A and B are shown apart, each in its own frame.
Chain A
């Protein structure tokens, strides 16, 4: 049997380990990822087992980390960078958007940029400012990057390996509140492609779509709705760029209604892009406009207020009621 139950963070660790075992060019870089094993212990014991040349405790400088990772990729390595928290990626934003994302294009295909940027993101952990944000839209907006976010330990295990195997730069958004959630990992069999959207619960009345930590909120909402006689289909986006629309469109054609949920502020985010595309592609199937449940257009609030800010099952259900009212 190849099934094993483990928390999300350990599945990440196992996926990284396997990628490092399979390809000696894979190396990890980041702050506190070596001896400490990362602040979330995602890289625990990897420096001990692979050495200091493959797991680098770097200086505390995000632009320097991503910039030198780019140089290492030019020298034939496959660097996997850990950004310690979502709100700390911005010092590296220039290197990611003006360099990493554009280098293959600038070189007219002469070089590849197999760099993975891992970013623990999102709220629900009661942390202080800059530690609970969802900056995925900045990267999804940037041509040249791929952006993915696993929601389960099994996806964490496989998607990190697939991201590392990609010859394109991948922004790997890890829903940090899920790090401790256990789930079954099938280490023998890959369930889906890196960029595949997946229907994870079938239903007939409303399609609920989200990614990362929102997926469990959507499942919770679907199960509450079921008790009220409303059948919700739940779709895990998994890939934020590119987006695999077909399963969403197919679902919406059958339900006629869709609710999108995300933690990030709504303005100019994935929410609008996906709602517009669904409207374009499934207009005659829709019984109601696509409703968007998002964070408010405010800075992520102090954690004592996060329960008011973050979409939860009740807010999703409120939107479900609205689409059903059309």
Chain B
């Protein structure tokens, strides 16, 4: 399912035609915003890779190449929706309002979290989750709760809530994903399973995860599923918009397999030259989601001023996070004890007091 060809021409495939009016409703400003989201996130992402090389981050998992799948789906979500990301959804969390320096703080290992999902400014974006697939049943449980509390399926699309959960082709092999689908189908949850098939789980190709299309799996649980060109931001937007609205209207869970490509390494610790070819990378470079959207917008008449402005915003964001993360303070040692439990816990409190006293016993106040 695709609206925009890799060369930027608007040519909806037959599967895309039924969703045509969702795309037709987007004005120039909305379309340009999607390009802006993708390009600015890429500037941030590339800056983050450099920050890791400079020793500012422990690790960086690039979102390079997956911007269309992420931006289209995130822009399709409504403000009241809740987002459960995995750990590579930098464009998604940006669109939802999370300060991206928080993601850098997480990958600097200055925190295990980074932002407060209950703070409205973060757009109901839950934290990144590093154990693959574990966030998927959380999303299903959350969506079950929406149903039990009548926060969905009242017929008001501006208020009815729904959930998107992101995961990848590697995580698709995890039992948690399958169990979450069983629960979602049984409890008819207002939920979209958004699978980014980026073809590689570190070094293992998707063909090892799945002998049949991954989209067949969710369909097998009775969950309506679309397989889309994940490098077409409009395909991602339209499919997500339709499915989320069907789910929030009481239609039950939906699933999307966005076929995309991890153009970068798994993380900065990875070396893709050991397991994939330059030819493959070059073939996918020709399907770059940002170049595609740029060509599409240029065909519609977007001028160089617009693109220069976007580039400038990307550079400004990169410079901003670079400055802020370099000055990021290490957490206070006492913080590791602070939130292990919500309620008082004598043992943890004793250990916190012991460490403070121990550190204070050294000349100058620290070991």
The interface of chain A, by Cβ under 8 A from chain B, is 27, 53, 58-59, 61, 63-64, 66-77, 91, 94-95, 98-99, 102, 104-113, 143-144, 146, 166-168, 242-243
Contacts and interface: CB of A to CB of B under 8 A. Distances in A.
A63 B137 contact: yes
Given A68-B180, A108-B111, A74 B338 contact: no
Contact of B141 (A68, A91, A143, A167): A68
Interface string B246-286: 00000000000000000000000000000000000000000
Interface of B: 111-113, 116-119, 126-127, 129, 131, 134, 136-146, 148-149, 175-176, 179-180, 182-183, 186, 335, 338-343, 345-348
Given A104-B341, A242-B347, A68 B117 contact: no
A48 to B, nearest CB: 18
A27 B140 CA distance: 16
22 contacts: A59-B179, A59-B182, A61-B183, A64-B183, A66-B137, A67-B136, A67-B141, A67-B176, A70-B141, A71-B144, A99-B131, A99-B134, A104-B341, A107-B113, A107-B127, A110-B116, A111-B117, A112-B342, A143-B348, A144-B341, A167-B342, A168-B342
A74 to B, nearest CB: 5
A67 B137 contact: yes
B169 to A, nearest CB: 20
Contacts of B149: 75-76
A96 to B, nearest CB: 11
Nearest to A167: B342
A70 B137 CA distance: 8
Nearest to B335: A108
B172 to A, nearest CB: 15
Contact of B144 (A72, A106, A110): A72
B145 to A, nearest CB: 3
A284 to B, nearest CB: 21
A157 B143 CA distance: 31
Contact of A74 (B142, B343, B345): B142
A78 B347 CA distance: 25
Nearest to B118: A110
A109 B342 contact: yes
A111 B111 CA distance: 15
A109 B119 CA distance: 13
Contacts of A146: 341
Nearest to B347: A242
Contacts of B116: 107-108, 110
Nearest to B137: A67
A291 to B, nearest CB: 25
A67 to B, nearest CB: 3
B183 A69 contact: no
Contacts of A111: 117-118
Contacts of B118: 110-111
Interface centre among B118, B149, B179, B335 (most CB of A within 10 A): B179
Contacts of A72: 141-142, 144-145
B127 A71 contact: no
Nearest to A110: B116
A95 B148 CA distance: 23
A73 B111 CA distance: 22
A112 B340 CA distance: 10
B341 A75 contact: no
Which 3 A-B residue pairs are closest in the complex by CB-CB distance? A71-B141, A67-B137, A75-B145
Contacts of B342: 104, 109, 112-113, 167-168
B340 A68 contact: no
